[in-house]
A and B are shown apart, each in its own frame.
Chain A
Amino acid sequence: MHVMIINGSPRVKQFSNTDKILEEFTKGMCENGTTFEQYEISDRRQWDAIREAYYQNENILIALPLYVECIPGLLMEFLETLHHREDKVRLSFILQSGFAEGIQLRCGEAYLEKLAGRLGCEYGGTLVKGDNFSIRLLGEEQRKKVTGPYENMGREFGKQGNFLSDTCRSFTGPEVFPAYVRWMLSLIFQTFAKKGFNRFAKSWGCKEPLDYKPYE
């Protein structure tokens, strides 16, 4: 199998969490001889090549971050340049987000299924998982703990050619956290997480408090 992969993140490849996910995912995917070519939607110079590859390939995978509950505006701008395909093509998705719970991604996932149908493609399912915000902020070793599990999902995709198996569906994790976990996380949000964000902002040269109101 040969897979055409589109990284649908508007963030440049160097800082793209989606790209780091794809790095691990494709390791697993290629173990059984599957090959791939990858394109970046963030680089408009690639758009002609992406369109050409989109019409030539039969197994297409779009990986994207959730932007305000659905697909990013930049990816939509590209998709607007495509036309409906009449031939046999399978379109699958990797949908990732910062928020951790599965419920946060379901509305976006629902659109991706509709999108595949509207584009004239067979829907190959969506690999849904959140809790990825920190990928960019972590060192390589810590980052691997977050992105590493995608390698196994790549293996599954390499075997099945889609994300419709129970293994892929269960990859999402909990739809919502149990009450005691929410209580614990709330405490962490108000203490360690807050300090961590402040410390990180300082390292980026931030000079204002993070709840600063510039337009009030």
Chain B
Amino acid sequence: MILIINTTTDQEISRQVRAFIQDTGKEAEIIEAGKMNIHPCAGCNHCWLKTPGVCSIKDDYEFILKKIIHADQLWVISDTAWGFLDHKGKNIYDRILPVATMYLKFSGKQMRHIMRYKQKTDIGIIYTGDGDREYLERWNKRAALNFGSRSLGAFPVETMKEAIACM
């Protein structure tokens, strides 16, 4: 399943993405999260050490998290700020911590947390504004390590067709 989370308030982007995906015959679910109540991760570590797998913040993210753990691909549509994802886009990633456990292992030469679920969700970014594409691609590759998966790339919204070709 392809999961697309639009953290911008521009639903026209979702409409275009949906139209392009329909042309390819693939199936995707698009969630409009631009106006959802999603708080930033508070770093409480409860999802690792107190209520394993469950975030202590009770807001709209739980609905998204339950979708992510069953998705083959997660695409985040985000506005950018200072060249990077804006806070709404970053919060989607920061709140992913419950998919990992507290337990550790080495993956190649680096420490990593052992994943909670078997599902591997590859991740990609579609962004608006003055994002630093080279950096966002580098960052998304690193971010994928937190999902135990691989990066699908970072694409300016003007090139969303390229992103959809990766779906």
Contacts and interface: CB of A to CB of B under 8 A. Distances in A.
A212 B135 CA distance: 35
Interface residues of B, number: 50
B43 A72 contact: yes
A157 B96 CA distance: 35
Interface in A56-83: 65, 67-74, 76-77, 79-80
A110 B141 CA distance: 14
Interface in A1-49: 9-12, 15, 42
Contacts of B90: 67-68, 70-73, 76
Given A110-B135, A200-B49, A210 B102 contact: yes
A176 to B, nearest CB: 4
A99 B135 contact: no
Given A9-B43, A69-B139, A119-B82, A214 B103 contact: no
Contacts of B36: none
B132 A210 contact: no
A79 B80 CA distance: 12
A211 B101 contact: yes
A85 interface: no
A13 to B, nearest CB: 12
Contact of B40 (A10, A200, A206, A211): A10
A191 to B, nearest CB: 11
Contact of B50 (A69, A104, A204, A211): A204
B143 A69 contact: yes
Contact of B94 (A12, A68, A107): A68
Interface stretch (B18-26, B27-35, B51-59, B158-166): B51-59
Nearest to B48: A210
A67 B139 CA distance: 12
Given A103-B110, A189-B105, A210 B52 contact: yes
Contacts of B82: 76, 79-80, 114-115, 118-119
Contacts of B110: 99, 101, 103-104, 176
Interface string A184-214: 0110010001100100110011101111111
Interface string B127-162: 000001001001100110110000000000000000
A204 B66 CA distance: 25
A136 B84 CA distance: 29
Contacts of B139: 69-70, 107, 111
Given A103-B110, A111-B135, A67 B84 contact: no
Contacts of B117: 213, 215-216
Interface in B68-117: 69, 81-88, 90-91, 93-94, 96, 101-106, 109-111, 114, 116-117
Interface of B: 40-46, 48-54, 65-66, 69, 81-88, 90-91, 93-94, 96, 101-106, 109-111, 114, 116-117, 132, 135, 138-139, 142-143, 145-146
Given A69-B146, A99-B110, A215-B117, 6 more contacts: A72-B94, A76-B81, A107-B142, A115-B83, A185-B106, A212-B53
Across the A-B interface, give the 10 residue pairs with the lowest CB-CB distance, nearest first: A77-B87, A74-B40, A73-B91, A11-B43, A69-B142, A73-B90, A73-B40, A212-B52, A76-B87, A214-B53
